[in-house]
């Protein structure tokens, strides 16, 4: 009997792993309910990403490698839904008490509005190159680490280490350059309606650009592989088929994009929007303390500026979010029969993972965010920086594709 028919065979282990996740959330509820909620958000991100195979590295890379844009279009869809959600939240935060289009006194506290400058585009390029080289972006590295990819374990180590040199040299960069740069937030420049319309226009333009680019491919792709239904008539076979569609077949990219955009907006309602790399640099700071390279009495300015060593690593919300993502992907991989410790035969892949991870760590801290914080959260925050970082990712991915082909 093939695996296809025995759809429930991983149900036992899957339920067991999810039960563990449940007890972890109970444990954290005891410490603080917000920690437990971050953990649950992490699980949700992990589940959605694992099921929809939502890979930002592929989205940028495949534009250049295969002229394929299906995944990029799904990201755009996710950005559209997140823009709607974010706009409502930000408007409620700063706009309600004042006449529309007269926001002067600042940006909502947790909106991701970074200063725009050379560090934004350079960070994007370095990050984009790194994610293509290692085979996964910030979320991709976490998700694959949970699925058992040994290269991504190495990439995660590289990622953490990559944040450290940037932290070391951050003070002069910040004081001498970044702190003088403007934080450009569209509602301040164009008013609310202008800002939202501009973001939709840019997203629509990006969608058209991707569609035009796809039409030039020699090889046409259609994402949805026809799922042959046997049109069962009885309840058990129907249940089996539906179960298989959800837990074995990948979800359409579009579903993944829309769910991630929605989750991001919900996370913003709860506390702050989605980010990944702040926690990773926190782990870097923790490593520096544990190895004695840095002392609590003499913290590097970077870690005090961003308050990255105040909490022990395991009791910070952003850390639990990332750990939840890894665990959610792990649990879903168990349920889908996709977990396996994978060790590549070509050992160069480990070097690719480490170097790519290191580049991502460095680039994400330089640009003050990764594919999530500086892009998937920055664009719906109506920040110009997201629109500078995104093209940076594309340039980096294009360079990464050149390297990839050499390393095939």
Does residue 62 interact with another protein by CB under 8 A? yes
Residue environment code for 221-253, b if the CB has 16+ CB neighbours within 10 A, otherwise e? eeeeeeeeeeeeeeeeeeebeeebeebbebbeb
Least spacing, CB of residue 125 vs another protein, in Å: 20
Q: Which stretch binds another protein (CB under 8 A): 12-20, 193-201, 221-229, 376-384?
A: 221-229
Using only the alpha carbons of the chain, give its radius of gyration.
21
Q: Is 13 in the site for another protein (CB under 8 A)?
A: no
Query: What is the CB neighbour count within 10 angstroms for residue 1?
Result: 6
Tokens of 313: 């690593």
Among 7, 35, 56, 58, binds another protein (CB under 8 A): 58
Question: Residue 231, interface with another protein (CB under 8 A)?
Answer: no
Q: How far is CA 23 from CA 209, 313, 322, in A?
A: 46, 20, 17
Answer for which of 249, 304, 305, 315 binds another protein (CB under 8 A) is: 249
> Scanning residues 346 to 375, which ones bind another protein (CB under 8 A)?
346, 349
If one counts every other C-beta atom within 10 angstroms of the C-beta of residue 25, the result is 20
Give least dist CB 372 to another protein, A.
19
Cβ nearer to another protein, comparing 143 with 300: 143
CB of 340 to another protein, least distance (A): 4
**Closest distance of CB 218 from another protein, Å:** 11
- Smallest separation, CB 280 to another protein (Å): 20
The SS3 of residue 377 is coil
Residue number, 65 or 289, with CB nearest to another protein: 65
Region from 50-58, 97-105, 180-188, 259-267 binding another protein, contact rule CB under 8 A: 50-58
Closer residue to another protein in complex, CB, 61/365: 61
What is the rounded distance in angstroms from the CA atom of residue 176 to the CA atom of residue 184?
Answer: 19
Q: Which is nearer to another protein, 27 or 221 (CB)?
A: 221
Residue from 1, 2, 179, 231 binding another protein (CB under 8 A): 2
Query: Hunting for tokens 């926001």 — which residue is that?
Result: 103
- Among residues 244 and 301, whose Cβ is nearest to another protein? 244
* Smallest separation (angstroms) from another protein to the CB of 190: 39
Under a CB-based contact definition with an 8 Å cutoff, are residues 147 and 76 in contact? Answer: no
The vertex-34 CA angle with 33 and 38, nearest 5°, equals: 120
State the minimum distance, in angstroms, from the CB of residue 154 to another protein.
13
- Residues in binding contact with another protein, number by CB under 8 A: 39
**Cβ(54)–Cβ(253) below 8 Å:** yes
Q: Is residue 220 a contact point for another protein (CB under 8 A)?
A: yes
Indicate the DSSP class of residue 373: I
Minimum separation from the CB atom of position 11 to another protein (A): 16
Q: Look-up: residue for tokens 């990050």?
A: 127
- Rounded CA-CA distance 48/7 in Å is 20
Which of 131, 385 has the CB closer to another protein? 131
Query: How many CB atoms neighbour CB 192 within 10 A?
Result: 20
- Tell me if 112 contacts another protein by CB under 8 A: no
Site string (64-103) toward another protein, x via CB under 8 A = -xx-------------------------------------
Question: Which segment (87-95, 168-176, 222-230, 318-326) binds another protein by CB under 8 A?
Answer: 222-230
- Token pair belonging to 335: 């349920």
46 contact partners, CB below 8 Å, separation of at least 6:
142, 143, 146, 324, 325, 326, 327, 328, 329, 330, 331, 332
Scanning 66-116, the segments in alpha helix (DSSP H) are 70-90
Q: How far apart are the C-alpha atoms of 137 and 192, rounded to whole Å?
A: 32
User: Which residues bind to another protein, rule: CB under 8 A?
Assistant: 2-4, 53, 55, 57-58, 61-62, 65-66, 135-136, 144, 147, 149, 151, 219-223, 225, 228, 249-250, 336-340, 342-346, 349, 404, 408
């Amino acid at each position: 009997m093939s695996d296809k028919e025995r759809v429930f065979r991983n149900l036992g282990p899957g339920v067991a792993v999810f039960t563990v996740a449940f007890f972890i959330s109970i444990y954290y509820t005891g410490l603080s309910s917000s920690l437990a909620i971050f953990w649950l958000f992490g699980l949700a991100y992990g589940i959605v990403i694992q099921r929809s195979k939502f890979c930002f590295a592929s989205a940028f890379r495949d534009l250049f490698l295969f002229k394929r844009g299906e995944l990029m279009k799904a990201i755009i869809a996710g950005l559209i839904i997140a823009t709607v959600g974010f706009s409502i939240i930000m408007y409620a935060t700063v706009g309600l008490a004042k006449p529309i289009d007269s926001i002067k006194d600042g940006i909502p506290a947790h909106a991701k509005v970074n200063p725009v400058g050379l560090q934004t585009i350079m960070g994007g390029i370095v990050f984009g190159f790194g994610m293509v080289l290692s085979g996964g972006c910030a979320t991709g590295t976490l998700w694959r680490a949970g699925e058992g990819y040994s290269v991504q374990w190495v990439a995660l180590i590289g990622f953490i280490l990559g944040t450290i040199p940037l932290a070391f040299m951050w003070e002069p960069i910040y004081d001498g350059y970044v702190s003088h740069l403007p934080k450009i937030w569209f509602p301040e420049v164009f008013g609310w309606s202008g800002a939202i319309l501009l973001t939709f226009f840019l997203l629509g333009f990006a969608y058209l650009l991707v569609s035009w680019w796809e039409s030039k491919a020699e090889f046409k792709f259609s994402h949805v592989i026809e799922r042959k239904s046997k049109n069962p008539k009885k309840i058990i076979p129907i249940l089996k088929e539906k179960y298989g569609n959800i837990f074995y077949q990948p979800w359409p990219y579009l579903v993944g994009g829309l769910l991630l955009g929605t989750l991001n907006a919900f996370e913003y309602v709860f506390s702050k929007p989605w980010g990944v790399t702040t926690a990773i640099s926190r782990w870097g700071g923790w490593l520096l303390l544990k190895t004695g390279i840095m002392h609590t009495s003499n913290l590097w300015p970077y870690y005090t500026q961003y308050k990255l060593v105040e909490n022990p690593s395991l009791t910070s919300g952003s850390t639990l979010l990332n750990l939840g993502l890894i665990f959610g992907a792990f649990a879903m991989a168990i349920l889908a029969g996709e977990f396996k410790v994978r060790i590549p035969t070509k050992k160069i892949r480990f070097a690719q993972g480490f170097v790519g991870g290191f580049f991502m760590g460095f680039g994400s801290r330089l640009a003050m965010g990764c594919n999530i914080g500086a892009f998937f959260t920055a664009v719906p925050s109506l920040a110009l920086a997201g629109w500078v970082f995104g093209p940076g990712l594309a340039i980096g991915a294009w360079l990464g594709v050149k390297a990839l082909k050499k390393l095939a």
